[in-house]
Amino acid sequence: MKIGVLGIGITKFGEIWDRGIRELLLDSQLRALNDAKLTPEQIDSIFTGNMCGDSLSGQLHIGAMASENLNLDKPSIRVEGACASGSIALRQGIAAIESGAANIVMVNGVEKMTDVSTDQVTTALMGAGDEELEGFNGLTFPGLYALLANAYMDKYDLTREVLAEVSVKNHYHGARNTYSQFKNELTIDDVINSTMVADPLTLMDCSPITDGAATIIIANESIAKKMNTEVYITGSALATDTLSLARRKSLLEISAGKMAAQNAYKQAKITPKEINFAEVHDCFSIAEIYAVEALGLAKQGEAGKLYKEKQTYFDAKTPINTSGGLKACGHPVGATGVKQAIEATMQLRGEAKERQVKNATIGVTHNVGGSGATAVIHVFKRMK
């Protein structure tokens, strides 16, 4: 597989009170068109990842909105797969190109989350779990990942301090990213002593509520070559698992992530050792530990070591989440997967400035929906 990345565009992530879904989306769409040096008419098809438009803004039909924004009448649909919506939209865009149905595709991700109360956001996000089996018992998303954290920490040698290092590192990166929600650095004590959300996860273990939009424009290889494209997507895979945690085979791994990674690596003909950096789904600190193991960047039960030894910073051996991750860059749910693709592209183009990974050739994105019921992996490669 060889799909060229023609252009990227992203809004600032954060609490953007003066803009709704439509304005956020238009902003990233225009930035990406500008970056790709394309006009709207050159887009054949649009895919937009969005999870909560209906529950938080009363707005469905985001597909038509994305097309209307650019005065187009092209095929345009909304894609939903909880927090993985953005990456699923990207994967659908790739499928459209590979099938021959489209040559140039615009992939968006957008979420508007700060117009309503935290209670309402918590309830809407829980839609990604199993409402009958989990939501009915008062489980929340932090609660689901806390269940994973407690099972993992009971079995493996991962201390509270090392787990906190995930957020410390992500804020360090976020402070070096212009589009991130948070620019403040944290200490391990800041993380451990912040408000308890679901034991052992505190507020500083949890990704925030964020508004934002991201757009990536992709094309088939022949068009990409003509446009002197540097970055290509060489692997794209998705795997699924049970909605509820209780029905999983194990609480110690997210097997959909592992399966999707293996399939994506196979397509891209790479091994984990060749990966220079990864953007992973750290909706909660513990999720990053599971992600690193799913990607094969650490052995089962040993990811903590990388954090203890501070190996996941942008200038260290295994850079993880140079954008700041979901924790510090922010997590506008449907936009996150597309943001990961943008960060990977920026790194491979050498545009990541203060957080630039040196000599990066291969980057991977890892996007999870729910507590691991969907996982999407993409492999990005610099070809020049």
Partner 1 sequence: MFRKSPIIRWRSYGDRYKLHGHKCTKCGTTYFEKKGMCICGNLEFSEMDFSGEGKIISFTQIHSGPESFSEMAPYCVGIIELKEGAKITAQIVDCKYEDLKIGTEVEAVFRKFYKSGEKGIIHYGTKFIPKL
Of the residues 83, 206, 283, 329, only one is catalytic, namely 83
- Measured between alpha carbons, how far is 329 from 249 in angstroms, rounded to an integer? 32
Contact map string, positions 55 to 74, toward partner 1, x by CB under 8 A: x-------------------
Of 42, 103, 114, 150, the residue at the interface with partner 1 (CB under 8 A) is 150
Of 92, 244, 312, 374, the residue at the interface with partner 1 (CB under 8 A) is 244
Specify which residues 216 forms β-bridges with: 8, 107
Query: Measured from the CB atom, is 118 or 361 closer to partner 1?
Result: 118
- Measured between alpha carbons, how far is 10 from 351 in angstroms, rounded to an integer? 14
- Measured between alpha carbons, how far is 261 from 141 in angstroms, rounded to an integer? 24
Smallest distance, Å, CB 156 to partner 1? 13
DSSP for 239-262, written as a single string: EE--SSGGGSS-SS--HHHHHHHH
Of 39, 99, 195, 271, the residue at the interface with partner 1 (CB under 8 A) is 195
Residue 331: active-site member: yes
Q: How many CA atoms lie within 13 A of 46 on its CB side?
A: 33
β-strand pairing of 231-240 with 362-369: unpaired
Specify which residues 8 forms β-bridges with: 216
- Measured between alpha carbons, how far is 213 from 112 in angstroms, rounded to an integer? 9
Residue 83: active-site member: yes
According to CB under 8 A, which residues from 169 to 188 bind partner 1? none
Query: Measured from the CB atom, is 55 or 240 closer to partner 1?
Result: 55
Alpha-carbon distances, residue 43 vs 29, 38, 102, 163, 244 (angstroms): 11, 8, 9, 43, 38
Smallest distance, Å, CB 264 to partner 1? 26
Contact map string, positions 288 to 327, toward partner 1, x by CB under 8 A: ----------------------------------------
143 binds partner 1 (CB under 8 A): yes
Of 20, 40, 75, 135, the residue at the interface with partner 1 (CB under 8 A) is 135
Two structure tokens written together for 240: 């699924």
Of the residues 171, 173, 281, 331, only one is catalytic, namely 331
CB 161 within 8 A of CB 188: yes
Query: Measured from the CB atom, is 148 or 303 closer to partner 1?
Result: 148
The set of catalytic residues is 83, 331
Binding stretches for partner 1 (CB under 8 A): 55, 118-120, 122-123, 126, 131-140, 142-143, 146-151, 154, 195-200, 244-247, 251
